[in-house]
Chains A and B, each alone.
Chain A
Amino acid sequence: MADFVQLVVLGLLAGGVYVAVGIGFGLVWGVLNIVNLAHGALVIIGGYITWQLFSAFHIDPFLSLPVDAVALFVLGYTLQRGVINRIIRAPLLFTFLLTFGLNLVIINVLLLMFGSDFRSVTPSYSGQGLELGNVVVPYTRLASLGVAILTAAALAFVLNRTRIGLAINAISADRDAAQLVGIDLRHAYAMTYGLGAACAGVAGGLIAMIQAITPTAGEPYTLQAFVVVILGGLGRVSATVVGGLAFGLVEAFGQSIPGSGSVFANAIAFGLMVLVLVTRPQGLMGRLR
């Protein structure tokens, strides 16, 4: 029983990271119809910012998360406005190729700047945890889950309660009609990608506290974000939260099967994605549009 509870706790905590990685990816996919293959690379930029601030200035990694968000927002806005907007009406394959190219560019710039060494952020409290009976809850992971949920809530607030959120929902529903009410498409697209990138930056900061990062460490996260968004369902932040937590749970239980490792856990998670696609293509929480 204690093992079961421990697995649920670990799964939900791991799910926090997937939530953080998934919400930005899902926003960009749902609104811009871009499967952003550079998402993992954006995540890792956030990780390096947190690492740099921690190692050079001893800034607590949680305090550097807003810096990650702002920096990645600016980068994302600029990328969309300057580069991706040019092919936004092109077929999906073009955005695949472009974001794949961006992914390679970012990885190689990171290699130039930081080399390929493993970098990790280890604040004084990193090894500690809350012990509840036989169940251990690591502090950093617990806080990461909290930050991920807060980030998701903040994104949902922006999308549902602000003027730019209204514009983003409008372009997502009908691009031409949105233009006809006076929404500047280029700005709204860039804001969307910028918000997605900001979420990626926060995710990267969280990931840097949990694992050692290298310039290529983001690639699995692109794939996992894809699964998370499909699991939860495209188009709503809350659906991605459910998808992320579900993915974390599945992974935790997959890893607990005797003789299996993380590879097998991934196979189970992707198997679940295929199952969801076949039986419930709108995702666990999604609406058919």
Chain B
Amino acid sequence: MSDMRNGVSPEPLLEVRRLTAGFDAGPVLFGIDLEVAPSELVALVGANGAGKSTLLGVLSGLVRATSGSISLAGEDVTNARPEVLVRKGVAHVPQGRRLFGTMSVEKNLLLGAYLRRDGEIRGDLVRVLDLFPALKDKLSREAGTLSGGEQQMVAIGRGLMARPKLLMVDELSLGLAPKVVDHLIEVIQQINREGTALILVEQDVLVALDAANRAYVLENGRVALSGKAADVKEDPGVRRAYLGL
């Protein structure tokens, strides 16, 4: 499939070059190239096991890259530690939410600001609650007792509390009702409009392609296709393989 890269600004926020990574059992990613411009919303789609979550893991420092490079705002951050990447502005909302289940919603959100020492943490908490009003009267509830959609809100909110330049959300829609997904996508787009770059990883390809500016299709650990989300959506291969059209 051809490269349809378009609309990438000359100075990307995130630049991934020939990235290879994997686990003891074997490599998962083979020579990934990927760019995200500041305030861009990029979809990362592909089948189960294509390497989407592993890629996010490498970008947030949980998984080591075996070769290739990652740079953030022009600075090399290949294999930087997770806490360093958080400090530099990368927030990763992991698959399955991964909340601190026995802690309160408020503690979960405040933990998102763990590395911050500025005086605006409370103000940001209010902003997160404005994005997700449903959480307002649930601040003292144990996070594990919330519904799936509310837990996803807490997970995204926890990511936002770090004031990221790049927010990566893994499997936003997994296990959630379509109405809830629509709402969360709207919020994601609002976050994006307010200046945060976003990588949206989705198995629900249509949801992701409709929301994003650009998209990358991952197949077996390689970028099979990339380009404007609207173009990717019209690609015959994508329509056949992922959209059932």
Contact = CB atoms under 8 A, between A and B. Distances in A.
Q: Which of B60, B98, B107, B111 has the most CB of A within 10 A?
A: B111
A162 B107 CA distance: 12
Interface string B151-170: 00000001000100000000
B162 A182 contact: yes
B83 A184 contact: yes
B227 interface: no
B107 to A, nearest CB: 7
Interface in A256-289: 289
B86 A184 contact: no
Q: Which of A163, A169, A180, A184 has the most CB of B within 10 A?
A: A180
A116 interface: no
A176 B98 contact: yes
Contacts of A178: 100
B48 interface: no
Interface in A100-125: none
A96 to B, nearest CB: 22
A29 to B, nearest CB: 17
Nearest to A174: B98
A180 B87 CA distance: 10
Contacts of B68: none
B23 to A, nearest CB: 12
User: Chain B at the A interface: mostly helix, strand, loop or mixed?
Assistant: loop
Interface SS, A side:
helix
A166 B114 contact: yes
A5 interface: no
Contacts of B86: 180-182
Is the interface on chain B under 10, 10 to 19, 20 to 34, or 35 or more residues?
20 to 34
B111 A166 contact: yes
Interface residues of A, number: 18
A128 interface: no
Interface string B206-220: 000000000000000
A177 interface: yes
Nearest to A173: B100
A180 B60 contact: yes
Given A177-B100, A180-B91, 20 more contacts: A169-B103, A170-B103, A170-B111, A173-B100, A174-B100, A174-B101, A176-B62, A176-B98, A177-B98, A180-B62, A180-B82, A180-B86, A181-B115, A181-B158, A181-B162, A182-B82, A182-B115, A183-B83, A185-B82, A289-B102
21 contacts: A163-B114, A166-B107, A166-B114, A169-B103, A170-B100, A170-B103, A173-B102, A174-B99, A174-B101, A177-B98, A177-B100, A179-B82, A180-B86, A180-B94, A181-B111, A181-B114, A182-B82, A182-B114, A182-B115, A182-B162, A183-B114
